[in-house]
Amino acid sequence: MQGVRLELPLEMYSSDVQVLPLAQDSSLLLVVNKDALGGRKNTSYEIQKYNYRLQPQWAKMMEVPREYEFRQLCGEGTSAYALFQSESLEHRLYIAAIDGTSGQIRTYTFETKLARSIYDLKALDGNLFVSVLVDNHLTILLLDLAANKYQFLPSVYEPLPAQLSFLADSAARRAEFVLSQTNGFKTRLQLKQLSAQGQLLRSEFVQAESERGLISAQISPASDSASGRLLAGTYTLRDARYSQGLFAADLSAGVTPTGSRRSLRFYDFANLKHFFDFMSPTRAARLRQRSEKYRATDRVLRLRYRTLIHDLIPFQNGYVMVAEVYYPQYRQNAYSPFGGAYLPYSPYRYGATIHPIGMVAVGKPRDTASPTHWFAASTSAATCSGTTPSF
């Protein structure tokens, strides 16, 4: 199939465009703010729909109250949901539900009272799962649009600097959560399954043996479980702030007597062919030489990379796992119970760039100072049985 291209008549220095692919009909939805970065705040958004050949289908204007800023966009089926947050009252949220077929837009307002920072948004059976910060804890806010009600889910409540990722599995009609936990020496992951109404269905732990700790991960949908449930992410050596490499596990393969997963496989960044391509060739060669010297004496070169794992992307018979290496950002918290300035770690700061994804891709992202580089790797449940992944 020949590729197609779409050019938008927008000024790149003042416009903001959110892109959402809708898998059910292979269409594309754009949320366009033509003067988002201008001096005067623009409250008009244009919703544009394109088919799989990037041919325009319809366009609708949407007015958002001036106090709100765009935060997240997600989709389910042929519907899309845009989340806005009040600049003056962070707990006040504004939702636009967009029918991708007709272009009809319905709006909702929620006074959550407690929610502060917003990290992610997923839709399941018409309900919205929002990962938020409440009293320096990561938790999930469930928005029931049909009943215009909300609730915080007590089954997901972890203190910072925990990391949280989740998947809305529409086929299985449940939400899958992966949370990191640490006792200061060892890190492990807790997996939780929730219904579309927010009820806890199942919970289990995944941990490694020896000095390795599991930092963060993504899980494959239950509907793709014919060849095993894949859990893939990053691991550390002692210091939970820094990733040493990637791991993959088949969750259906059982556990050892000590509780570790039999299928766990680990891949040190230093052994990946293209991981250091963002560096100069000379610097990358020196790092590889140091790694070889350490390995010759049964030691491991400790790496100091902070990583964020994005959603697993289905590809052929496996998945592409995309991650970015970043520097942490800190912000002032006006809600500190101790008074004065308090700067908690903000664990989720994805880059604002669109990066081409391939079987193996490494490069510097454009127009952002937070991530230092991105990488992508292909893996599958077969990887956990000993097959070498395409890293």
Candidate from 112-116, 173-177, 273-277 with smallest mean pLDDT = 273-277
Residue 60 is assigned to a structural domain of this protein: no
Residue 41 is assigned to a structural domain of this protein: no
158, pLDDT greater than 50: yes
Residue 141 is assigned to a structural domain of this protein: yes
341, pLDDT greater than 70: no
Give the bridge partners for 231, in sequence order: 219, 249
To 10 degrees, the CA torsion angle through 227, 308, 19, 222? 20
Residue 279 is assigned to a structural domain of this protein: yes
pLDDT at 79: 95
pLDDT at 182: 83
By percentage, how much of the chain surpasses pLDDT 90? Answer: 42
Residue 48 is assigned to a structural domain of this protein: no
Answer whether the bond into residue 161 is a cis peptide, omega within 30°: yes
Q: Would you call 184 helix, strand, or coil by DSSP?
A: coil
Candidate from 123-127, 215-219, 363-367 with smallest mean pLDDT = 363-367
Residue 151 is assigned to a structural domain of this protein: yes
Residue 205 is assigned to a structural domain of this protein: yes
337, pLDDT greater than 70: no
184, pLDDT greater than 80: no
Candidate from 218-222, 252-256, 296-300, 380-384 with smallest mean pLDDT = 380-384
pLDDT at 170: 87
Q: How far apart are CA 6 and CA 230, in angstroms?
A: 35
pLDDT at 172: 87
Q: Report how far Cα 369 is from the mean position of its chain's Cα atoms.
A: 18
* pTM greater than the 0.85 cutoff: no
Helices (H), the chain: 281-296
| Residues in CB range of 179: below 8 A, 6 or more apart | 138, 156, 158, 162, 163, 164, 189, 190, 192
The count of domains in the chain is 1
Q: Containing domain of residue 270, as a range?
A: 112-385
Q: Answer with the residue of higher pLDDT: 63 or 376.
A: 63
378, pLDDT greater than 70: no
Q: Answer with the residue of higher pLDDT: 18 or 209.
A: 18
Residue 213 is assigned to a structural domain of this protein: yes
Q: How far apart are CA 321 and CA 83, in angstroms?
A: 26
